[in-house]
Structure 1
């Protein structure tokens, strides 16, 4: 029976993959489904082949009622669970909606990359007129989540495998002030199953342009998790908490980014406290804890943290050359900057370090950004950074040339 099921699944994907272009969009006067082939890779699934489907009322351009975003994939290495899927259905609540200020409910279900996530959200957006750059958003998401296969995790020591029943209240504001554009977001998560715990996070980002090529970017971050919180909700000094890696296809599963890169400590995932110079030190504790569970080494994680990140942009000729390319200048940006990060634990629980951790260096980033219909960033950022100074070095010298690569950025206004 398993072989028959597998054969039928393979044939189903092949038929969809080979559909001629003229029939990839099937529509009626009331609704349209737009399928597209999809390929991805990780070290457990191998090449993952599938189809993604967008559903919408014709002419609404992802901004109408009954929005569907779904996908189903077959893993060509046939792991224990070779078929994975994701589906999101969003519908507006007319009574509470206005142009640009939609209220909606959203149902999400997914089983992929060794992770269950199923939930229901209520969302509300307030937008100032026709300017999608200025908005406020509020969301309440209730979900069931579970890591059921550690094989997909780049660092299994950062994950627990218990059931999670969660409520997450999040808010975001984007606007401008006398200095430039700013963004504030905050979230409160409460987990009810088994041993309950909470997580509270807040972030403020401010862009301070001096002219077209020179300027400052400043970010403040703070996070607190209960003493008994699962490790995926604790804070690294250098990178995003492990739980947030499931929201990005590049970091969701081991091997999309080669595992040797991750374990080298030279690959950085932006977010959290974002003290980027400590990536190597943090990753060393993750790999030591993952390699031998009998060792006393545990990941360097904090229950509470507060940090500041600052970048100073300066002129570079590559970005000026992009500005001379018609249309491309609206989407392509090349930045050169100096950076400084500093942070510490709030010492809200016992045995958290009282050190102030700081780093400084230089960096370059290339971004391709095509904003979505709400004006939010959509694209990629590739960065190469050189943290050349650390305040807490362990056995290293304070001044040392370190190489850091990453996708994504904490400054995306």
Structure 2
């Protein structure tokens, strides 16, 4: 799989055409329009097409299926790199790789091998319509498979996607969760442009309607199925690691913006004894606090993804205890990234000053994006899980959120 952007983009030399170099070139382009697109909302179609052309949609796909064979540490580093300048695009890019991981964890090779190969060959973009908390979509048994009907919310990246991961509750007394991978353009699937939140404004996390959508048996991820084994239970941990790196990317982007503004635009307060704003004792104190929190969160994130990669490579031999250790590390990193990011994106204005609040810069987007995303699942419950580990030695119980 060759790595390119397109003929009109700034491209690194062939020798430097690594995923990191390609992501850096993309991030530079995305940064020019990020503030304006935050205001506009809607689908980042041009940016998604640049990702398609870049080859990065194959980043986590093993080389034997035409992908780049990156580890999860490498894949999430690219997620963080993109998120520093555009957390909406970083979000949908990360969710694309989460869906690819999901079919590998929940299904059989006979199912996911062709999907991965076709994704690498055709630069398919995967979207999400799983949301297990939204139980309004039902699966009815029909000859040859199921028929999905109902509504689904928070379908991040579904618009402009080529494949979708969809969930429904089986129409039975048990109400078993059924997850399937289907083409986005299949008859009966309707996606709506109704996402208009204060943050993450270009993730297209709106709603979908399924009207008697035909789902074949070989599209249903039933063997081993969702959360059926320690390995299958890695899926929610990867989702949480995505959040960690999105949060860190937002915080790092805000830090870089604040630092640049302090150096180039900020004014020294008249009462300060310093000669320059960059020497003001209070400004330096703030940056010192930002650095400590960010560096701590980064170290915890790197530790967590290292454990995750090792667990992923264990395959079917992964134990419940080893999976539980990864869960603790991921939850710890997530809480550190949440706290560091929310504090930094709120207090960055204390080192940039009143003029930095101009609407033209839209520096508030970093806080808005992080505030929206960190509400995905409650921090209080994550802390309760960590408290139960710290006090009682109990690993977080596997669920779609832990």
TM-score range, shorter chain: under 0.3
Q: In proportion to residue count, which structure has more helix?
A: 2
Length-normalised TM-score, structure 2: 0.24
Larger RCO, structure (CA 8 Å, separation 6 or more): 2
Q: In proportion to residue count, which structure has more strand?
A: 1
Length-normalised TM-score, structure 1: 0.24
